[in-house]
Structure 1
C-alpha cells in the first residue's frame, strides 16, 4: 500500500490525538477524526475507526482511567520510543537529542511536558509537515513500536488499533526489526539508571501525562 505524504500526515495527526492523554479536546475532535479516517486507505482507516468508536462511546473519565492503567502502569506499554532500546541510560539521552535536533531543524517546539520521543509527539511532528523526517525516526525505533503494539494487542487494549494505524503507514517490519522486538520482549530495556541531562528522568513508563 502506497500512501501520499498528505495521507500519512492525516493518519499521524489522528493517531497523535488518540495516543495523547484524553481530555475535552479529544472528545470535541471525534467528528473531525471520523472525517479524517474516511480519507484514508482501508488498512489505515479500519483500525482508526475502531479506536475512534471506542472514544466516542466511552465517558471521558473512563477514558482517562483506561489511559493511565494502560500506559502509566505497564512498562511494556511505554509510549517513549527510546526507552525500549536504551532504558534509562546515557545512550537514551543521546537518542533523545536526535529527536530534539530533528524538531529544531523544522522549528517545531515542544510546549508540553512530554519528552521528545513520546509517540504522540513524533506523530504531531509528522502532522505539522515533517512527515518524512518523522517517518525516519519511527523506522529507527521500529522494534520498540512493534513491541508496544504486541503488548497492547495481548492486553486487548483499544489503543492497539491506534498503533496498528501508525504501523500501516510505515513499510512492513523487516526480520531485523522483528528479531529486535522479540529480544526486547525477552530481556527488557537496559537497567542502568543514570541522569538524562539535559532531559529530566521523568516522565517515565510509570509516570505520564496528567
Structure 2
C-alpha cells in the first residue's frame, strides 16, 4: 500500500498515532515490510502509552508469516460484521444512506485539496487515519470524532476476541474527545442491534461488507 496522501504540516503526537495506525490497519500485502519500517520510526517519537500499544500490533505483524497475517486480517475485518473497518457500514449498513455517507468522506477530502483514493473506499478507517495524519488534522479528527461510537464498538469487539489489532484501535480512540452520554446511549443501541442490515440500492457505491479479497481463504 503506497501513501494515499502527501504530507503537508508538522505532525503532533495524535498525527503520529494516526499515521502508524493507518499503516498497521492496511491489508498485509507485499508492502507490509516497508510499512512496518515506517511504523518503527514513528514509535520512537511517541509517548509510552501510545508507543506500547502500537508496538504490540507491530510486533505481531513482524513476527507472523505473511499467509497467516493475511488470513487473520480477512477473518477479523472482511468477514466480521461487527469488526468492519468501513465506518459508514456501522452507521448505515447496507442501506441507501450508505452511498451518501461515503460521499461525505470523499467531499471532505476534496475540500482539503486531495482526491479520494481509487483503490479503497473513502470511509475505510486506514484511509481516514492517513488523511488525518498527513493532510488535514482538523478535518480528519472531525471525521473520526463523528464516528466515535463505531470506533469504540470496534475497539471493544477486537479486545473481546483477543485480536492483535485491538491495541491499534485503543490508541486511536485515546486521541479523541471523551464519549458523551449520548454516545454511550448510541453505543448500547449499536451493541444490541449491530449495524443496520436493510439491503437496498447503494449505487454508485456498490462495495458491501464483507468484501472478499482475491486469493483469500
TM-score (norm 2): 0.88
Aligned counterpart, 2:211: 207
Structure 1 unaligned regions, length at least 5:
none
Kindly indicate whether residue 28 of structure 2 is the aligned counterpart of residue 22 of structure 1: yes
Kindly indicate whether residue 134 of structure 2 is the aligned counterpart of residue 132 of structure 1: no
CA distance in 2, matches of 1:154, 1:55: 20
CA distance in 2, matches of 1:181, 1:5: 31
Kindly indicate whether residue 204 of structure 2 is the aligned counterpart of residue 198 of structure 1: yes
Residues 1-210 of structure 1: pairs in structure 2 closer than 5 A: 5-200=11-206, 202=207, 204-208=208-212, 210=214
CA distance in 1, matches of 2:197, 2:34: 40
Task: Report deviation, 1:165.
Answer: 1.3
More helix by proportion, 1 or 2?
Answer: 1
Structure 2 unaligned regions, length at least 5:
1-9
CA RMSD of aligned residues (A): 1.7
CA distance in 2, matches of 1:32, 1:114: 21
Contact 1:47–1:162 (Cα < 8 Å) also in 2:
yes
Instruction: Say how many residue pairs are matched.
Output: 205
- Match of 2:149, SS? helix
Task: Report deviation, 1:84.
Answer: 1.1
